[in-house]
Amino acid sequence: MQIAVALVSLFSLLSLISADVVTRFEDVPECMEYFYRGMVPKWGAATPDVARICQRFVNRYHFATLYDTHHRIAVYSAYHFQPSNGGGREKRWFVEPQLVNSSWQAGMKDSYWLGKDHPGVYQGERQALNEDYTHSGFNRGHLNPNGHHAVPSRNATFTLTNVVPQNAKLNQNAWRMYEAELTDLFRAKCSKAYVLVGAVPSSDKWIGKNQTKRVNVPDYLWNAYCCVDNNSRPVQSGGGSARNTEDNWVERHSLDELVEFLQQFTNEPVGELFYNNCI
């Protein structure tokens, strides 16, 4: 009887370890490490057809993404900052196999090789594909930025479930400089920095292909961070938001201000973005 129980427990553990698209982030302890004190924000949880992805690359988890399969953009990605250890930009763009078929392998994969494994299967029903962005006029804008990570987490940010159509001027100028500003802050002030980066979908702007709405172009991008010391006590917090336009400007916010900003886009209570508002 004890052996049977042990085997059931082992199989349950293995099923969790192999999980990638999950019912709840709380079901995968490694995935919960990207949320300060294990608190998953309420923001976006009521989004229809949302998927929770524990982002796996080279058989490890690297960050977590709440993904809107209708708009085919991320609601947010949650991560903690890592000082870069060098390494160039990943040349591949990955997709999430389990958004095509829940029984497929756990872990992001190059769309080309996924197609070789499963010939003739359309991969883009519930997620954006690299071809959607080609000649679209928009950048593949990272939410969780590759520059906030060491390899291999740096490579893992190049999944299309972590990007949104971003205005090129914003992506390459003000938003890039804001990410660099955060890098300096996190290095100087934080033992660990917990970060959320998200997008607010638009009501009527899409990347289209063959007269089909494929990928929503968000109206806004936003960022929130919680810096802690060696004892996991908060030392600094804040955030920013930017119109996804040629305006090329990032507005700085306190966490309270950012919650007020997000509240205007939903009838659901936004709630705290970090445990105890990072106080």
Instruction: Note the pLDDT tens digit of each residue in 94-108.
Output: 999 999 999 999 999
d(CA 78, CA 238): 15
Instruction: Note the pLDDT tens digit of each residue in 132-164.
Output: 999 999 999 999 999 999 999 999 999 999 999
d(CA 259, CA 122): 38
Residue 270 has pLDDT above 70, yes or no: yes
Give the right CATH number for 2-278 from 3.40.570.10, 3.40.50.740, 3.40.50.720, 3.40.710.10: 3.40.570.10
Residue 184 has pLDDT above 70, yes or no: yes
What's the whole-number mean pLDDT along residues 171-183? Answer: 98
What is the percent of the chain where pLDDT is above 90? 89
What does residue 259 show for φ and ψ, rounded to 5 degrees? -60, -45
**DSSP secondary structure code for residue 191 in this structure:** S
| pLDDT score at 98 | 97
Q: Which of 11-20, 88-97, 199-208 has the lowest mean pLDDT?
A: 11-20
- Which has the closest alpha carbon to 59: 148, 191, 153, 125? 153
What's the whole-number mean pLDDT along residues 223-249? Answer: 97
More confident site: 7 or 164: 164
| pLDDT score at 194 | 98
Provide the 10 A C-beta neighbour count for residue 9.
Answer: 10
Residue 231 has pLDDT above 80, yes or no: yes
- Which has the closest alpha carbon to 186: 141, 142, 241, 147? 147
Domain ranges of the chain: 2-278
What's the whole-number mean pLDDT along residues 227-256? Answer: 97
More confident site: 20 or 65: 65
| pLDDT score at 16 | 40
* pTM of structure: 0.92
Specify which residues 80 forms β-bridges with: 194
pLDDT band at 19; cut points 50, 70, 90: low
| pLDDT score at 274 | 98
The terminus-to-terminus CA distance of the chain in angstroms comes to 48
What is the percent of the chain where pLDDT is above 70? 93
More confident site: 188 or 84: 188
